[in-house]
Amino acid sequence: MKFAFSTLGVPGMAMADVAALAADTGYQGVELRVAPDEPVHPGLEMPERAAVAKEFRRAGVEVLAVCGYTNLAAEADEAVVLRELGELLWLARDLGAPYVRIFPGAADQDPAVADATAARRLGAAAETAAGAGVRLLLETHDSHRTGEAISGVLGPVGHLNAGALWDVLHPWLAGEDPLTTHGYLAPFLGYVQVKDVAAVDDLMPLPLGNGVVPLAECLSTLTPQTWLSWEYEKRWYPQAAELPGLLVQGREYLEGLLSALPVQPTFPTAK
């Protein structure tokens, strides 16, 4: 498997330093958090985008995903949502990233209405994604924490450029076991975000293996080509330990879990 980490764990770090950190610690990729307070955002001009892409090529590190904050099912103007998605897709294309992360964001809407809104918008944006050579991934998060909920949106869309991002924390917090989550997401799966926390009521990020998230069970469902990205939410928990000093241990922990699997996984994963 290939390993990445999210810049959520190194807030504000310059892209050249992020790329070097990944290369030095044995990570093949990086998820880029995209927001106005980060070095990378949709407002970057083409020369700036080219410079970011060049830094990662120079380090031999892939930009795995552009992680935006568009809420697909939000009660918002449809044209605005689709424009935001388009901006993220073209940014990903310019940076050479194969994926764009988005959130469900239905809040307290009626689930059937929210699912219909999300599917309609995702179907429209998937055509733009295909033109950009990028895949939109809807994350297990907020209003749609489980694999079952995400599959309820993706199933009706039925587009290769619309897929799922499995954040292992949220389905588990919602009471869905990893085998069930994977069963729902397998036809749509892009990649997997791993993380660890102390307890269901204490979500401060911990080094991988130091908490209670069932990471071994999650990994046991995956095929060898699946990307694993460590989303260490340092930005939201400034008291958490600094990520750079944890990266090697985290990668080695994941490698140990994978090497201990009793059999080679054979579950299908969408490409």
pLDDT digit of tens for each residue in the chain (271 aa)? 999 999 999 999 999 999 999 999 999 999 999 999 999 999 999 999 999 999 999 999 999 999 999 999 999 999 999 999 999 999 999 999 999 999 999 999 999 999 999 999 999 999 999 999 999 999 999 999 999 999 999 999 999 999 999 999 999 999 999 999 999 999 999 999 999 999 999 999 999 999 999 999 999 999 999 999 999 999 999 999 999 999 999 999 999 999 998 754 444 444 4
Q: Does 266 map to a domain?
A: no
Q: Could you count the other beta carbons within 10 Å of the beta carbon of residue 144?
A: 29
Task: Confirm whether 265 is domain-assigned.
Answer: no
Q: Which domain holds residue 117?
A: 2-259
In a domain, 82, yes or no: yes
User: 264 lies in a domain?
Assistant: no
E-strand stretches of the chain: 2-6, 29-33, 62-71, 99-103, 135-139, 162-167, 189-194, 197-199, 202-205, 227-230
In a domain, 271, yes or no: no
270 assigned to some structural domain: no
Q: Is residue 268 included in any domain, yes or no? A: no
CATH number of the domain encompassing residue 153: 3.20.20.150
* 102 domain residue, yes or no: yes
Give how many domains the chain has, as a whole number: 1
User: How far is the C-alpha of 33 from the C-alpha of 42, rounded, in Å?
Assistant: 11
Chain centre distance of CA 133 = 17
